[in-house]
């Protein structure tokens, strides 16, 4: 059962978080170019796949339970970083994208959106590294 849960967890991360990371990164460039249709599509991808990405921690908890690692520091750190990444996406990235679409113009705040999106992507990169390296884990890497 652990291998099935792990497979679904990894697939959900690749197929749900990946598109959000890419679309969110492409959004500022689309706004700079004034391509409202592309920016609207990228925002929609971010919103829809953000909901799908909820499967990542859900199946992650299942995997952690079957592996008996719920109290391991690497996992607790990953959970914390995932929560921060979700908050950055839900409270900063998506609302700012929506504002840019409503304004239909560029501004100096576009650089801040790009920066916040970069922070979101770096958080996910850190979680990915922790999931692979698992420092201090008794289950091995």
Is the pLDDT assigned to residue 41 strictly greater than 90?
yes
Q: Where are the domains of the chain?
A: 2-133
- Which string of DSSP letters, residue by residue, matches the chain? -HHHHHHHHHHHIIIIIHHHHHHHHHHHHHHHHT-HHHHHHHHHHHHHHHHHTTHHHHHHHHHHHHHT-TT-HHHHHHHHHHHHHHHHIIIIIHHHHHHHHHHTS--THHHHHHHHHHHHHHHHHHHHHHHHH-TT-TT--
Q: In residues, how long is the chain? A: 141
Share of the chain above pLDDT 70, in %: 94
pTM (2 d.p.): 0.89
Summarize pLDDT for 75-110 with one digit per residue, the tens: 999 999 999 999 999 999 999 999 999 986 567 788
Summarize pLDDT for 11-34 with one digit per residue, the tens: 999 999 999 999 999 999 999 998
**pLDDT for res 2:** 83
Q: Which residue carries 């958080």 as its tokens?
A: 123
């Amino acid at each position: 059962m652990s291998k099935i849960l792990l497979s679904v967890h990894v697939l959900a991360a690749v197929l749900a978080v990946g598109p959000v990371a890419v679309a969110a990164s492409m959004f500022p460039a689309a706004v700079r170019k004034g391509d409202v249709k592309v920016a609207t599509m990228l925002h929609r991808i971010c919103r829809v796949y953000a909901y799908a990405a909820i499967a990542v921690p859900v199946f992650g908890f299942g995997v952690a339970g079957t592996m008996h690692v719920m109290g391991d520091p690497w996992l607790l750190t990953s959970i914390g970083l995932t929560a921060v990444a979700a908050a950055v996406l839900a409270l900063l990235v998506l609302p700012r994208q929506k504002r840019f679409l409503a304004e239909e113009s560029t501004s100096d705040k576009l650089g801040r959106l790009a920066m916040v999106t970069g922070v979101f992507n770096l958080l996910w990169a850190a979680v990915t590294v922790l999931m692979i390296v698992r420092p201090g884990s008794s289950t091995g890497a």
